[in-house]
Amino acid sequence: MAKRYSFLMQVNHAFDKAAALTEHDPTVLKTIKAVNSVYHIQFPILRDDGSIEVIHAWRAEHSHHKQPTKGGIRYSMAVNEDEIMALAALMTYKCAVVDVPFGGAKGGIKIARHKFSEAELERITRRYTFELVKKNFIGPGIDVPAPDFGTGAKEMAWIADTYTSLATGELNALACVTAKPVSQGGIRGRTEATGRGVYFGIREACDNPEDMKRLGLSRGLEGKRVVVQGLGNVGYHAAKFLAECGAVIVGLAEYEGAICNPKGLDVDEVVEYRRTNESIVDFPGAENVESKAALELDCDILVPAALENQITEENAPRIKAKIIGEAANGPTTGEAADILFQRGCLILPDTYLNAGGVTVSYFEWVKNLSHVRFGRMEKRFEQGAYRRLLKAVEKVTGKHFTDAEINEIARGASEEDLVNSGLEETMVMAYQQLIEIREAHEGKITLRTAALINAIDKIAASYEHLGIFP
Ligand code: GLU
């Protein structure tokens, strides 16, 4: 049996591999790799039945080369210190890859969230936030959490409320956390952002003629057979955007089981069925598959959108997909990635592919600091300018535009339009950078290594003029 490496060891191993291909000073590399600070908290919580439970929670800040640090908070029984440190490191590299000016962080609370009532979850979340405040592990310019596995907008609203109630008079207090509900200072498009970013990344990959030729696939998303593991916020939205753009969702996996249908599954219908039946199994018209075996289904693109360590050296040899889209953080182990690379598989790495969430979190943070909704100043002005332009075209051509045409063409950008356009720009540009780095290494490195080289170069540049390294 092969030695099992911890998650942090795996992330560091991937880092070392990329670092060896750079020319940076070893002390700079060592500084970048280190997890700067870890806070482990244990606090008691009053259960609804009057009993007391001691909760374990963590927050790790990996790199302060840019501040604040940024990263989600997960609620799961699998949470432990090593995992949180590894995920914090991935956040640092991810932010650098997509040019989001934050250091990386991650938090986690070790609970099975379905075993707690909403009131209990609120008490846990507020107490956790209070503990972070006490030790300076949260704040608009310090460390800014967001959702992750097992958390969402509601938890972020509790965090924002706890923080703002303690930060009397702090004008920018709402920027202490992102992915809040829009009514609490959130931004439109954040909920879908990670899934939308996954879609943009896969679309870019499928648009690359050389890669598609090498994989024996046609160019574009049309007709590509996709399997998605995880129907949470990320998996659901990724599947939905991919299907809307012509891909066929042939398999969907959840922890209770998986389903497949080569003719395609309607993601919304499956989600609705799962809500009613509390299981994905026996979805009408589909065949049941064992949960983990769904990763091995015949498909073109496999999108693991659940947890880390799903594709290992054990199941990698049986995986049929030619493209792996890492929507989750760390779903493919280093050994599995090597096996798949040898086989010619294209892995779109997590540090790039799931960066849409933190990208739009950055937009939300900027919105909170600027205290004005994106598009508020220019939307009407743009609309007026386009209308004047259309009138001029009418005059010159003699053509008359219908009201529907005018409304469609002469439209000022809304907050959501701007968020989605900023996200698309980010994902497209970041992909180009990865391809350039891979080319510079004559195509001999994986995109995972290219992403890490990219991150290391950018982070090292931020230390360049400080004079603290030889
Ligand atoms: N938890 C998400 C991630 O892993 C989002 C982080 C954020 O928005 O800060 O990227």
Question: Which pLDDT tens digit goes with each residue over 211-230?
Answer: 999 999 999 999 999 999 99
Q: Is 72 in the pocket of ligand 1 (CB under 6 A)?
A: yes
Per the domain annotation, does 205 fall within a domain?
yes
CA 286–ligand 1 middle distance (angstroms): 33
Q: Is 71 in the pocket of ligand 1 (CB under 6 A)?
A: yes
Strand partners for 229: 253, 304
Burial string for 453-467 (b: 16+ CB within 10 Å, else e) reads bbbbbbbbeebeeee
* pLDDT attached to residue 1: 44
How many distinct structural domains can be found in the chain? 3
* pLDDT attached to residue 251: 98
Q: Looking at the structure, do residues 328 and 366 belong to the same domain, yes or no?
A: no
Return the closest-CA partner of residue 462 out of 90, 31, 173: 31
Distance from C-alpha of 331 to C-alpha of 230, rounded to nearest angstrom: 12
Beta strands in 206-359, from DSSP E residues, in sequence order? 225-229, 248-254, 257-260, 287-289, 301-304, 323-325, 346-348
In the annotation, is 224 catalytic? no
Residue numbers of the chain with a pLDDT score lower than 70 = 1-3, 468-470
Which of 194, 198, 358 to probe ligand 1 with, by most ligand atoms within 8 A of CB?
Answer: 358
- Read off the pLDDT of residues 99-108 as tens digits, 9 standing for 90 and up: 999 999 999 9
* pLDDT attached to residue 465: 76
CA 146–ligand 1 middle distance (angstroms): 6
Range of the structural domain that residue 289 is part of: 193-353
Per the domain annotation, does 12 fall within a domain?
no
Return the closest-CA partner of residue 231 out of 323, 306, 308: 306
Q: Looking at the structure, do residues 67 and 202 belong to the same domain, yes or no?
A: no
Instruction: Pull the structure tokens for residue 140.
Output: 């608009």
Distance from C-alpha of 422 to C-alpha of 174, rounded to nearest angstrom: 22
Q: Is 107 in the pocket of ligand 1 (CB under 6 A)?
A: no
Atom of ligand 1 nearest to the CA of 71: 9
pTM of the model: 0.96
Q: Looking at the structure, do residues 219 and 299 belong to the same domain, yes or no?
A: yes
* Complete DSSP assignment for 377-423: TTHHHHHHHHHHHHHHHHHHH-----HHHHHHHS-PPPHHHHHHHHH
CA 396–ligand 1 middle distance (angstroms): 50
Instruction: Pull the structure tokens for residue 112.
Output: 């099975």
Per the domain annotation, does 16 fall within a domain?
no
Q: How far, CA to CA in Å, does 216 sit from each of 135, 198, 237, 321, 345?
A: 54, 22, 27, 12, 11
* pLDDT attached to residue 464: 81
Provide the sign of the torsion angle of the four alpha carbons 117, 119, 122, 123, taken in this order.
negative
Task: List phi, psi (to 5°) of 47.
Answer: -80, 165
Per the domain annotation, does 30 fall within a domain?
no
CA 186–ligand 1 middle distance (angstroms): 14
* pLDDT attached to residue 3: 63
Q: Looking at the structure, do residues 80 and 208 belong to the same domain, yes or no?
A: no
Contact partners, residue 286, CB within 8 Å, separation at least 6: 259, 260, 261, 265
Per the domain annotation, does 459 fall within a domain?
yes
Q: What is the CATH number of the domain that holds 393?
A: 3.40.50.720
Distance from C-alpha of 130 to C-alpha of 111, rounded to nearest angstrom: 18
Per the domain annotation, does 28 fall within a domain?
no
**Quick check: 172 and 185 in contact, CB under 8 A?**
no
Atom of ligand 1 nearest to the CA of 329: 4
* pLDDT attached to residue 294: 98
Choose the final residue of a domain: 135, 150, 183.
183
Instruction: Pull the structure tokens for residue 256.
Output: 């209770």
Q: Looking at the structure, do residues 164 and 274 belong to the same domain, yes or no?
A: no
Q: Looking at the structure, do residues 73 and 163 belong to the same domain, yes or no?
A: yes
Dihedral through CA 284, CA 286, CA 288, CA 289, nearest 10?
Answer: -150
* pLDDT attached to residue 428: 98
Per the domain annotation, does 20 fall within a domain?
no
Atom of ligand 1 nearest to the CA of 145: 9
